[in-house]
Amino acid sequence: MRGPHNIIRLVRTLATLERTGAIGVVLEAFKAPPRLRVAARILGWPFKWLGLRGDPALPPATRALTALGPAYIKFGQILSTRPDIVGDEMALQLKYLQDKLPPFPTATARVMIEQELGLPVDTIFSEFSEPVAAASIAQVHHARLAETGEDVAVKVLRPGIDRAFRKDIDAFYFAARAIETIAPFSRRLRPMEVIAHFEGVVLGELDLRLESAAAGEFAANTEGDEGFRVPRPLWNLSARQVMTLGWVEGIAMADNAALDGAGHDRRALAARVLSLFLRHALRDGFFHADMHQGNLKVAADGAIVALDFGIMGRLDEYTRRVYAEILFGFIRRDYRRVAEVHFEAGYVPADRDIDEFARALRVVGEPIFGMDASRISMARLLAYLFEVTERFGMQTRTELILLQRTMVVVEGVARSLDPNINIWQVARPVVEDYIKRNVGPMALLRDLQRTALVLARFGPKLPRLVEAQLIRQSTDAPQPERPSRWQPLIWLGLGAAIALAGVWTGQQF
């Protein structure tokens, strides 16, 4: 699939941008250098006739992305939350992509539901509406259960969406391979791994059973979070292409006028969106990774309600600690510690100068403090960070892609509610609380306790494992040294000491 025929797909992408008039608008929004603008126009113009026409009623950029397909629409959804990067006008135009795309016929949705659930729609639901929202992958209907009268939301995948996404991803792989071949210096960014990660995330989103599982886990994790709610899935009415959730009433977070009219405090909402995201990422290691305005509502009581759980992020405990220490270091302006964490985690090659890296981080961090957040250009900040990563040989961390992307999206959502929000001031109490609980003596005691539990499970095998290792070492060594007969006992003693520490720490908790 990843052959040269994808050249046609990529040429058509450029041609569609040219035909819809989007290419000039996009290059201007990104403040592309003159050379790039000229090159793009020269390459796009001869093939303009190959471009997709799109809906002439839509603005150029939105028209082009909707014509090109779901993967491009996802990209546009992310940009719609970043007016500081693409400008207020384009961000407003791209909000159309969040939940106002053309729906597919209700009759088709009913047929798909009957095929997936094995029962007629009229038997399951006493009422079933026309689509109330339509996005890049699925659309949602408002329904009422015939058995209980409960209002529910029924999400149905777009017909043929799996094949359409695979075609786009196939072309992205081809583009990534071409970039690595033409520009070898780009390999440190691991474009092929980035696309593979994107593929895994997107294909997971195309199975609504996985989304139902994510919704259930997320709801359980956040049950105690004040001012935040997650609708729970109805498992008996969910399948691969259909998902049923409890119905949620609320104001779309993108509608500032309606939020103001209802008396909601937008500044408080902005701070809560940011703090909740950080809390979920750090505390739980499981976070909503598609938190644009189309997936967030505000209930009558002011609670934020999250929707659409197709893209979720997960971080292991070690990565969470690294991420928290990096954030904490920036908050405290301790750039030396931030640099040390990068080196300790292996994010920066060990042969680089840590003091130079700390100075580079200071240039990134200092403009943030003591300045109105509305004056900070995130586009310039990201551009400088890219220069820093290139200079110090940092590689793209595929496990952090969703976290980094979601942080950008969430900040964009918060800034649309409160243009003057300072992300560091909001983040500080959340990060400090995590650091207090998970980095330091208490965390060390918990780690020892977990280590002791693992050693206890493998206790009967420890003598044989130690003996086998010692024999292997003596066999492999050019001039073997006879192991001390006390060595196994020393290892066992160490294991026992750790086990006792685990018992003692368990009593402390």
Q: Report, as residue numbers or ranges, the catalytic residues.
A: 290
Burial class (CB in 10 A: 0-12, 13-18, 19+), 50: middle
**Exposure class string for 149-162: b at 16+ Cβ within 10 A, else e:** eeebbbbbbbeebb
Q: What are the backbone dihedrals phi and psi of residue 49, each rounded to the nearest 5 degrees, phi first?
A: -65, -20
Can you tell me the distance from the alpha carbon of 418 to that of 191, in angstroms, rounded to the nearest whole number? 34
Element (DSSP H or E) covering residue 83 = helix 83-86
221 close to 286: Cβ distance less than 8 angstroms: yes
Can you tell me the distance from the alpha carbon of 428 to that of 15, in angstroms, rounded to the nearest whole number? 46
62 close to 276: Cβ distance less than 8 angstroms: no
Can you tell me the distance from the alpha carbon of 79 to that of 74, in angstroms, rounded to the nearest whole number? 9
Q: 108: which DSSP letter?
A: H
Can you tell me the distance from the alpha carbon of 176 to that of 433, in angstroms, rounded to the nearest whole number? 40
Can you tell me the distance from the alpha carbon of 412 to that of 422, in angstroms, rounded to the nearest whole number? 12
Determine if residue 228 is left, alpha or beta; phi over 0 gives left, psi from -120 to 50 gives alpha, anything else beta: beta
Distance of CA 479 to the CA centre of its chain: 52
Can you tell me the distance from the alpha carbon of 424 to that of 29, in angstroms, rounded to the nearest whole number? 26
155 close to 243: Cβ distance less than 8 angstroms: yes
Burial class (CB in 10 A: 0-12, 13-18, 19+), 71: buried
Alpha helices in 315-459 (DSSP H): 317-331, 335-344, 354-365, 378-392, 401-417, 423-438, 441-457
- Find the distance separating the first CA and the last CA of the chain, reported in whole Å: 55
Question: Strands 296-298 and 251-252, how do they pair?
Answer: antiparallel
- Joined tokens for residue 395: 């590689």
How many residues are recorded in the chain? 509
DSSP bridge partners of 296: 306
Measured at the CA of 447, the angle between CA 444 and CA 452, to 5 degrees, comes to 125
Query: Strands across the sheet with 125-134, in order?
Result: 125-134, 138-145, 151-157, 242-246
Can you tell me the distance from the alpha carbon of 345 to that of 367, in angstroms, rounded to the nearest whole number? 26
- Joined tokens for residue 265: 């405090």
Alpha helices in 130-265 (DSSP H): 161-182, 191-205, 208-221, 256-261
